[in-house]
Amino acid sequence: MAYERILLGMGNPLLDISAVVDEDFLKKYDIKLNNAILAEEKHIPMYEEMASNSNVEYIAGGATQNSIKVAQWMLQIHGATSYMGCIGKDKFGEEMKKNSTAAGVNVQYLEDESAPTGTCAVCVVGGERSLIANLSAANCYKSEHLKRPENWALVEKAKYFYIAGFFLTVSPDSIQLVAEHAAANNKVFSMNLSAPFICEFFKDAQEKFLPYMDFVFGNETEARTFSKVHGWETDDVAEIALKISQWPKASGTFKRITVITQGADPVVVAEDGKVKQFPVILLPKEKLVDTNGAGDAFVGGFLSQLVQGKPIDVCVKAGCYASNVVIQRSGCTYPEKPDFN
């Protein structure tokens, strides 16, 4: 089978605890909308408070895992995708395993004996979301797990790799192993800027792997933060995308392509010294449920076409289709079959 295990993702598997909250809740826990942060001491009581909320939902998540699941759904080819990350030996971990396996992803989790499965509070106000991740077990991933023969075999088998920037905080040595393998074997390696805090506080790690990235994904806020921390003195997303695409590369096999989403505004694609913009599918406000997983779904849709060798405009269309489906549902979920052509 041509597509067997073609795409491999690595990241932080988190159980989303999603609830509609109000402005007072955001103020109480010092949360900004459309942001993604790591939980601090002050956020810990919030998880309990959300769990007691009558509209709370539990959805298997984590940025990379979402993207891989969406790619798998779009492909509708059994066993095309694999995923690695660390969960706890607990009820949430079992749920996660069940959910991802049912989605058709070949998951190879490292199971940590002592830490609970990671969670992510998804606070929804007016359809917009804010994410506060309590990594717990997800933070315990070790490259020894990746090096196990049965897991490294998945690296050998894959032709495309995707890792969200969030994993930079957990296991840079695992990223290094995969990035070097991809460069040495003419495979496609892609990452995501993921969040402003990654661009700001994990700048060195991000820069270290940028030369290996054949595709860089992100949104407009992350792109502008990236520009700011690198002293580029521009807020122009097209210009920033172009600069990122022209950053030196570790291997000359592929030219880097930067893909930046901007919510309802056009998707910016920079490649080969040129910038193109692609309109998204506009959605009436009343159909918007929440934006949680929109960016992840875009990447999943994009990758589902990329692994089939489709041109970039088709990859972008598929990304826009997938994110349009996801924002009309709670969390990063989707109907049984895609309706993309």
Which residues are tagged catalytic? 296
- Sequence-distant (≥ 6) Cβ neighbours of residue 61 within 8 angstroms: 13, 14, 15, 16, 120, 122, 292, 293, 331, 332
Torsion angle, CA of 27/42/60/307, rounded to 10 degrees? Answer: 80
Say how far apart CA 54 and CA 233 lie, in whole Å. Answer: 46
Question: Are 121 and 51 in contact, with CB atoms under 8 Å apart?
Answer: no
Q: What is the largest CA-CA distance in the chain?
A: 53
Is residue 257 exposed (0-12), middle (13-18) or buried (19+ Cβ within 10 Å)? buried
Say how far apart CA 266 and CA 325 lie, in whole Å. Answer: 17
Neighbouring C-alpha atoms within 13 Å toward the C-beta of 27: 3
Strands 160-164 and 128-134, how do they pair?
unpaired
Task: Please list the residues that pair with 38 across neighbouring strands.
Answer: 133
Is residue 148 exposed (0-12), middle (13-18) or buried (19+ Cβ within 10 Å)? exposed
Query: Angle at Cα 68 formed by Cα 64 and Cα 74, nearest 5°?
Result: 145
- Sequence-distant (≥ 6) Cβ neighbours of residue 328 within 8 angstroms: 283, 287, 288, 289
Pick from 171, 218, 157: which is nearest to 192 by CA? 218
